[in-house]
Amino acid sequence: MQPKSSSARSPQAELLADATALHAAVSDLVRIYQFRDRDKICCYDISVTQCYALEALAGRGPMRSQALAELLLLDKSTTTRVVDALERKGYVERRADAADARALSLQITRKGRTLYETINRELIAQQAEIVAGFDREACAMATEVIRRLARAAEARFVSGISVGDCAPGTGCSPRRRD
């Protein structure tokens, strides 16, 4: 697993070794974070997806349901329900869109923003513990790599084929019958 001394290895092999190590690390991270994030749920009273929605609305301002769905890579029906939950709890508001009577303007409430900030602060504090062990350079590098990974994955996901060759975001997933 660990890249050995790179002497006597082709650039090809090095690339593969690096990619393998990175993949293993990322894969692990993602798996574990799914649990970590689920914890976040119960402590405050929202789900992970709800939290992402809150984040989007906090960071980008009001938007339509459709825009939110695209941003979060969710189906519009799922988005409706996510917003339902958030609205019920008073974290977002649905306002009529002035320009289009069909559309909505989703807005985070003050209460929602406060909640989001609280959660975010805690999560960032956790990262800070780790970041403290690295120099800034290394941290910036890692952050950049992670960003690119995310963008690349998103692009792959949105645009089409991901792994194997099923349809993309169209959501081929649930078609599986165990």
Q: Which of the listed partners (a second copy, DNA, none) does 13 bind, with a CB threshold of 5 to 8 Å by partner kind?
A: none
The residue within the footprint of DNA, chosen from 101, 125, 128, 132 (CB under 7 A), is: 101
* 10 lies in the site for DNA, by CB under 7 A: no
Stretch 49-78 residues interacting with DNA (CB under 7 A): 49-50, 64-66, 73-78
* 172 lies in the site for DNA, by CB under 7 A: yes
d(CA 102, CA 132): 49
The CB-side HSE value for 159 (13 A sphere, CA atoms) comes to 6
Q: Per residue, what are the HEC states of 51-62? A: HHHHHHHHHHCC
Which residues pair with residue 17 across a beta bridge?
A: none
What angle (nearest 5°) sits at the alpha carbon of residue 144, between those of residues 139 and 149? Answer: 125
The residue within the footprint of DNA, chosen from 17, 26, 48, 123 (CB under 7 A), is: 48
Q: 19 or 96, CB closer to a second copy? A: 19
Q: How far is the CB of 68 from a second copy (least distance, A)?
A: 13
- Choose the binding region for DNA from 2-10, 14-22, 92-100, 149-157 (rule: CB under 7 A): 92-100
d(CA 178, CA 172): 13
Q: How far is the CB of 115 from a second copy (least distance, A)?
A: 11
Cα–Cα distances in Å, from 153 out to 48, 74, 158?
20, 15, 8
Q: How far is the CB of 46 from DNA (least distance, A)?
A: 8
Q: How far is the CB of 52 from DNA (least distance, A)?
A: 8
- Give the tokens for residue 4: 């050995």
Q: How far is the CB of 104 from a second copy (least distance, A)?
A: 20
In this structure, the dihedral spanned by the alpha carbons of residues 36, 49, 173 and 68, taken in order and rounded to 10 degrees, is -150
The residue ranges that bind DNA (CB under 7 A) are 34-35, 41, 47-50, 64-66, 73-85, 94, 97, 100-104, 170-174, 176-178
